[in-house]
Amino acid sequence: MENQARKKRIFSGIQPSGDLTLGSYMGAIKNWVALQDEYECLYCIVDMHAITVRQNPADLRRRALEQLAQYLACGLDPQKNVLFIQSHVPQHAELGWILGCYTQFGELSRMTQFKDKSAKHKDNITAGLFTYPVLMAADILLYQADLVPVGADQKQHVELCRDIAQRFNGLYSDTFTLPEPFIPKMGARIMSLGNPESKMSKSDPDGCIYLMDKPEDVMRKFKRAVTDSETSVKFDKENKPGISNLLTIYCTATGKTLEEAEAEFAGQGYGVFKPAVGEAVVELMRPVREEATRLLADKAYLESVYREGAQRAQYLANKTLSKVQRKIGFIAR
């Protein structure tokens, strides 16, 4: 009954493992903002996932707080959404442990992200890196989320989450809502400026634009963006991946359509187009950067936001966790 009356619920998170980029903004946070009225949303800073590869403690702390300030500066309203830090809600770890006992070694071995990351960090393949998708399943299932906005690279993890939920429900009767990956139509996939064949990544400083980059850095990076040996500003992902990526960025930043953008730059070379994209991004990011900077100077406010977020999250998480504990045979506390 309660399920029918309530708005659909959304859960998503970003790891504070690097500074937020234009890719995180255009591909994720911008959509989160658009969803906040229609859905009941929880947006998390998943610091427990971040430590699956080694982090510098001071950087991790700084980035988690900056990420919260940036969520707010991008327009996420802390009244409408539950904004919180994963490690502040211990129920994630508790449910994660339980779900790990309902997940097969073989299933986790098949996760492509694990295969990629363990190949990259050969000297530090931790159990945490291996069980990462179980913690992610706990994130989602604790809140009975209906929809999980994620990039295509996370779809496999959401599918595993569904499998775990279904298995648990089958064993103990309906407990978890089965979540669906939600890949928004508008979600722009932003590629690296230096290598437009791969996704813009926070670990590639020259190919990515950080939300907090100064205008001159943004302009420099766009002027150096890799293009091709032709001259026409045309969208053609196959043959002109660099220009196509810049067009996507330009259109997302300005709200123009591809046709409008192509017409605007018809007959003009890349020397005109690239700085124009840079300027559009500078103008788009300026209010975000200024607001985030203002918020970061107000630690007391940020603290009040994450404390209240954690409280609201814990209230919801506890409902699910205690149900699960009872069903599997733990004695009530």
Asked if residues 13 and 46 have their Cβ atoms less than 8 Å apart, the reply is yes
Q: Check residue 139 for interaction with ligand TRP (CB under 6 A).
A: yes
Q: Check residue 46 for interaction with ligand TRP (CB under 6 A).
A: yes
Q: How far apart are CA 281 and CA 262, in angstroms?
A: 17
Q: Which of 69, 150, 191, 321 binds ligand TRP (CB under 6 A)?
A: 150
Which amino acid is located at 138 in the chain? A
Handedness of CA 64, 73, 222, 214 (dihedral sign): negative
79: how many CB neighbours lie within 10 A of its CB?
Answer: 9
Residue 166 Cβ, how far from ligand TRP at the closest point, in Å? 17
Q: Check residue 296 for interaction with ligand TRP (CB under 6 A).
A: no
Q: What is the DSSP string of 219-270?
A: HHHHHT----S------BTTTBHHHHHHHHHHHHHH---HHHHHHHTTT--H
Alpha carbon 122 to its chain centroid, in Å, reads 25
| Of residues 51 and 258, the one with the C-beta less far from ligand TRP | 51
Q: Which of 9, 49, 240, 274 binds ligand TRP (CB under 6 A)?
A: 49
Q: Contact region for ligand TRP (CB under 6 A) — 72-80, 103-111, 146-154, 276-284?
A: 146-154
| Of residues 108 and 258, the one with the C-beta less far from ligand TRP | 108
Residue 183 Cβ, how far from ligand TRP at the closest point, in Å? 12
Q: Is 19 helix (H, G, I), strand (E, B) or coil?
A: coil
For the purposes of burial, counting CB atoms within 10 Å of the CB of 290, is it exposed (0-12), middle (13-18) or buried (19 or more)?
Answer: exposed
Q: How far apart are CA 18 and CA 84, in angstroms?
A: 18
Residue 333 Cβ, how far from ligand TRP at the closest point, in Å? 26
Task: Annotate each residue in 6-45 with x if it binds ligand TRP (CB under 6 A) or - if it does not, as one string.
Answer: -----xxx-x------------------------------
Residue 147 Cβ, how far from ligand TRP at the closest point, in Å? 10
| Of residues 30 and 49, the one with the C-beta less far from ligand TRP | 49
Q: How far apart are CA 168 and CA 325, in angstroms?
A: 12
| Of the candidates 25, 106, 52, 78, the residue with the CA atom closest to the CA atom of residue 304 | 78
Q: Which of 85, 140, 188, 209 binds ligand TRP (CB under 6 A)?
A: 140
236: how many CB neighbours lie within 10 A of its CB?
Answer: 13
| Of residues 148 and 247, the one with the C-beta less far from ligand TRP | 148
Q: Check residue 148 for interaction with ligand TRP (CB under 6 A).
A: yes
Phi/psi of residue 76, nearest 5 degrees: -75, 125
Q: Which of 50, 85, 136, 295 binds ligand TRP (CB under 6 A)?
A: 136
| Of residues 27 and 241, the one with the C-beta less far from ligand TRP | 27
Q: Check residue 252 for interaction with ligand TRP (CB under 6 A).
A: no
User: Active-site positions?
Assistant: 117, 199, 202
Q: Which of 70, 103, 144, 154 binds ligand TRP (CB under 6 A)?
A: 154
Binding site for ligand TRP (CB under 6 A): 11-13, 15, 46, 49, 136, 139-140, 148, 150, 154
